[in-house]
């Protein structure tokens, strides 16, 4: 059913819109996690460029979705009311700041991290602004998007651990805290939509399991294994890589389901039907 009194899944935002939230969130989270990790040298350059590339890939997905791509610059025209415009401005500022941070300009790393966090927040508010979608308009949607982006970015950081070799116990604990925070926000969000959007809740059952098992329990188990010394020496980097992959994949599954499967419209109801020959 495409139209009618019962809720239907919106068809305007598809996998390309989901790609913006998946890639943009992971890229922004990676930039923030790189700043938290205090990485220097070649590793900082590679991680920041990877974060910017993911953000750019997400924006490219959105550009593919536009009906008239040559009119894309018009997205900058409504800063006062549009969260999509604010997201675009945050991204526009993020790229030069990220490149300057990669070039080791003093103080720019944390500026880039703040802009990346702002970019993720704008993404969450952009979803929340779609008032006709009960699964998107709740107050916990922005915290969920930000928490997921940070966990995804931490996951990508450790997914790249075989290259940069940074897999300290303290940073793995940070990743564990991020995936746990994401799951706590998800539980609160799920409780909300169980009443407000029951069909959306059912549509995200698969992502729910992914987030619990793959995105939370598995990374936490690997973090505990490294922290307690069960996994040590040469096993630390593989464990960190698997934990990062699991965290990032679960976040991608969650956002894909939220944007494409849980996006049931509110539907509509006609309380008073017109009757021929009456004034009601």
Which CATH number goes with the domain that contains 66?
1.20.1630.10
The pLDDT of residue 208 is above 90: no
* Mean pLDDT confidence for 122-133: 90
Residue 235: what pLDDT?
93
Average pLDDT of every residue of the chain: 88
Is the confidence at residue 1, as pLDDT, over 50?
A: no
Predicted local confidence at residue 106, as pLDDT: 92
Q: Which residue has the tokens 């897999």?
A: 167
| Cβ contacts of 54 within 8 Å, gap of 6 or more | 23, 24, 26, 27, 30, 156
* 125 within a domain of the structure (yes/no): yes
Tell me, yes or no, whether 265 lies in a domain. no
Segment 240-263 mean pLDDT: 93
43 vs 78, higher pLDDT: 43
Give the whole-number percent of the chain exceeding pLDDT 90. Answer: 65
The answer to whether residue 278 sits within a structural domain is: no
Average of pLDDT values for 58-85?
78
Residue span of the structural domain in which 162 resides: 15-260
Give Cβ neighbours of residue 278 (< 8 Å, ≥ 6 apart).
Answer: none
Residue 32 domain flag: yes
Rounded average pLDDT over 243-259: 95
How much is the pLDDT for 195? Answer: 62
Number of structural domains in the chain = 1
pLDDT digits (tens, 9 = 90+) for 154-178: 999 999 999 999 999 999 999 999 9
56-65, 160-169, 179-188, 229-238: range with lowest mean pLDDT: 56-65
Whether residue 176 is contained in a domain is answered as yes
Residue 94 forms part of a structural domain: yes
- For residue 6, being part of any structural domain is answered with no
pLDDT at 56 over 80: yes
* 1 within domain boundaries: no
What's the average model confidence in pLDDT over 8-28?
88
């Amino acid at each position: 059913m495409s139209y009618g009194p019962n809720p239907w899944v919106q068809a305007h935002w598809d996998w390309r819109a989901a790609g913006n939230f998946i890639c943009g969130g992971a890229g922004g989270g990676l930039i923030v996690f790189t700043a938290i990790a205090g990485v220097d040298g070649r590793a900082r350059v590679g991680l920041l460029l990877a974060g910017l590339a993911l953000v750019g890939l997400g924006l490219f997905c959105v550009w593919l979705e536009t009906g008239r791509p040559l009119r894309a610059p018009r997205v900058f025209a409504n800063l006062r009311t549009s969260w999509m415009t604010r997201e675009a401005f945050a991204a526009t500022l993020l790229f030069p700041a990220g490149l300057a941070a990669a070039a080791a300009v003093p103080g720019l790393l944390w500026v880039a991290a703040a802009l990346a966090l702002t970019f993720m927040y704008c993404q969450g508010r952009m979803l929340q602004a779609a008032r006709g979608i009960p699964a998107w308009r709740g107050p916990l949607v922005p915290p969920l998007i930000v928490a997921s982006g940070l966990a995804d970015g931490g996951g990508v950081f450790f997914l790249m651990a075989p290259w940069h070799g940074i897999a300290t116990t303290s940073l793995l604990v940070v990743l564990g805290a991020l995936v746990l925070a994401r799951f706590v926000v998800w539980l609160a969000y799920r409780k909300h939509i169980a009443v407000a959007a029951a069909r959306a809740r059912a549509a995200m059952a698969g992502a729910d399991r992914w987030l619990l098992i793959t995105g939370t329990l598995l990374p936490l188990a690997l973090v505990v294994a490294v922290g307690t010394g069960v996994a040590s020496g040469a096993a630390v980097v593989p464990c960190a890589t698997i934990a990062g992959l699991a965290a990032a994949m679960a976040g991608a599954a969650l956002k894909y389901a939220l944007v494409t499967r849980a996006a049931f419209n509110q539907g509509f109801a006609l309380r008073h039907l017109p009757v021929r020959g009456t004034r009601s």
